Chains A and B, each alone.
Chain A
């Protein structure tokens, strides 16, 4: 530029509506970077982007059957329908037709074999969304229907897997089981979960002047979408730019399953030369996309008279749907978390990936971890009843501790004191034992309404188990007015990632948060990124942004030392710092202060680069699949929750009456955001285990395909007493970004305390001698059936006792 802007009047001040917050560096509870835009409707989501008037709209032709062969697909009437611009099937795909994200198995359109209800047969582009949807109905589809495999347990028995079985073993588990004083043998079904991101799958694609496209997509993994779009179009990656500003919720549902719509829209955009829009109607969205994997778990666990685990044999069967998608890593993570916070002893853990004719199940907050943890939390309750102790006592006895601190896959649990502190502090804060006594007394005098109480801990491993994904990049520009732009590979879906990354940059450069702005995630700014998943967004991208900011800072220090106050011998490079919008050199009254804007302009005029790219890769982690041993996680995040429920045992209806949570985020990057993540994770986890029931009919068609038939938690489900605190005084033992910890997924599993409390309430029907099987979601129907089963058994037992008395 020829002249520099006048920075004597600093303009980055009060904005509309709210007062400017005081300095918002990392650690402060600064509001969401989009707060004002959210409440005024100016925060733009994909469907809000204004498209040219000639944009075309896509509707999809979907399979009505779960399994069969496509014998006829006559689309002549579709092509002739009013407003139709283009119709495509698999033969119209210029490049790759398989868009499996990790392993092959996901055809973009059906070629021959149909694998689930909702699988894509063809796509229609028309002048309006309505015209496209009406045209779809004109298709003539003939299918040679075949029996659908919908039972993952039967599929596993037949050896029908999407990926090979994996086994983790530690010690001689067989011998331990044979010699154990007590053995518990059970099975459980853990239901799946619909993501129900409020903003459904949506995408807008614009053709570029060369052979490429720009893709605007609601998406957790722009780089993978870039790759798949390029492969489908058979063009180089550099011809595809993917942009992602914010999602209206992701939760894992937009990690791999946002790509198909981008690929389809990109093909249409290239064929028609017109901007192309796709937004799935809610019912279609729910039918065509995969969900959290339902799991069937079996376990035999040996324990001693104190209820302490000695070892055992655990098998998990994940219902993967029709293709691998991310199921290899998801079932792995279930296996990695079969211990939750407890030492299992000598154990074998076997994980199967069963293939069924449903949509391909995918990532969802926790990524299999929650389904794995359900095993050991169920077992803790069962063992407690068997040894006649309170479940909390048995849980505490089994927590990882010195001498029992290595997991079944060989990783040492480092923060043992933290784990025990959380449980003990929460036990005291929640007044667990006084409430236990009160509840026991209440239940003794209340024949119908039964109360339940449970404390469950969480230990969740942080890092992608696919090692190469643990890397991140960032791009930082300082402009000559002193404003700072940061861009990184992570995506914002409501978790506050962008706010946290801005805070990191503000802290490193000693600037007010107002000076730092984040821009949309774009594959042409930071390339080859990892998905925003595995709770790792802030850990990875925060470090990459910090790296970039550090480079700029050091570069400016070098420049300032040589440039300013030359006549006084220059500035002292050693003690330089950036704080409160100034470079400060020296101490006390003799300190020199150079305002940030002046520093930046001087550097520019001296031809110093004001741009840097940062990079980060997580150290220490490794896992050997051959030996099933390693350190797959950089660290563990912990937490615990106490839930109290009140159950009507004649109807099965229940209420969650009080919840207390203490959660570990290390040294928090932003306590307000972290508390929100903990609350939200808990509520979503509670929904998963209580009200959110996926139902398929016998033909494999999802019938819970809208908010009227699939119940996510609402305001009425909020516990009337809900105390949430962040654990203090335990910084991360590893050198994570400012010793904070990941917070996206771990709190999800705090919801298990509600399920355990329901079992506790039901157990009171047997005088706490038995714990019922309670599959999930524990809907009122399931709770009622469990209560009835217990009552029947009690009646039989009483009858037998009476008979015995008679005989005596």
Chain B
């Protein structure tokens, strides 16, 4: 049954008529035209759909939209500000951390979520934060380098 829900996405308020069990991913992509988050597996297992809910990483493909009412949702499109790209996005460009690019939304949002509560995480913490995001191209080395760079590990030490 359709209900009218008020969502806060990327600092903007939206009123949407939708069945409350509809996934957040569906609403973001189909109703709000926010295509940063991707459909990968639909099971919350690959991470391609990751968004931030109150700054924490969440999997939009298994989250009912009603669950985020009253919370701040941020998508990849909401990371950049008037001053420019988020430092995590810049780090991913600088490290050339994309092959096909489809997993990148999840990687960037997961790193952003980690940095939100720990601006200088250890390399181990970064690897742990990304462990459940899948990348099929095998771009793991560059993605890790980008995450390390965003977290301020600029040293040339071993990459992994």
Contacts and interface: CB of A to CB of B under 8 A. Distances in A.
Contacts of A715: 127, 130-131, 133, 140, 144
Contact of A199 (B38, B45, B132): B38
Contacts of A37: 101
A189 interface: no
Interface string A670-696: 001100110111111000000000000
B64 to A, nearest CB: 14
B17 interface: no
Contacts of A251: 136
A681 B131 CA distance: 19
B52 interface: no
Nearest to A279: B39
A393 interface: no
Interface string B22-49: 0000000100011111111111011010
A16 B85 contact: yes
B141 A718 contact: yes
B156 interface: no
Interface in A597-646: none
A371 B137 CA distance: 20
Nearest to B141: A679
Given A47-B39, A720-B158, A721-B158, A31 B137 contact: no
A198 interface: yes
A719 to B, nearest CB: 7
Given A41-B77, A672-B96, A680-B139, A199 B102 contact: yes
A714 interface: yes
A40 B101 contact: no
A28 to B, nearest CB: 12
B1 interface: no
A684 B138 contact: yes
A515 interface: no
Contact of B43 (A18, A36, A706): A706
Nearest to B88: A39
Interface string A716-728: 1011111010000
A39 B108 contact: yes
A69 to B, nearest CB: 33
Contacts of B136: 195-198, 249, 251, 684, 712
Q: Chain B contact residues (Cβ within 8 angstroms of A): what range?
A: 35 or more
B73 interface: no
Nearest to A493: B100
Nearest to A686: B138
Interface in B136-160: 136-142, 144, 158-160
Interface string A640-679: 0000000000000000000000000000000011001101
A29 B95 CA distance: 11
A248 B106 CA distance: 13
A196 B100 CA distance: 13
Contacts of B101: 32, 34, 37-38, 43, 246, 248, 494
A425 interface: no
A706 B38 CA distance: 16
A35 interface: yes
Contact of A198 (B42, B48, B127, B159): B48
Contacts of A722: 141, 159-160
B160 A720 contact: yes
A360 interface: no
B104 to A, nearest CB: 5
Interface of B: 29, 33-43, 45-46, 48, 75-77, 80, 84-85, 89-90, 92-94, 96, 98-105, 108, 127, 130-142, 144, 158-160
25 contacts: A17-B89, A17-B90, A32-B98, A38-B92, A38-B101, A39-B76, A39-B108, A40-B36, A43-B101, A47-B38, A48-B29, A48-B35, A197-B100, A198-B102, A199-B38, A200-B39, A246-B101, A679-B138, A680-B138, A707-B43, A715-B130, A715-B131, A715-B140, A718-B144, A720-B160
9 nearest A-B residue pairs (beta carbon): A41-B36, A494-B100, A248-B102, A680-B138, A683-B138, A494-B99, A38-B101, A48-B35, A41-B76
Given A35-B93, A282-B40, 18 more contacts: A32-B96, A32-B98, A41-B36, A47-B35, A50-B33, A198-B134, A247-B100, A249-B136, A249-B137, A251-B136, A494-B100, A680-B137, A680-B139, A684-B137, A706-B45, A712-B134, A714-B140, A722-B159
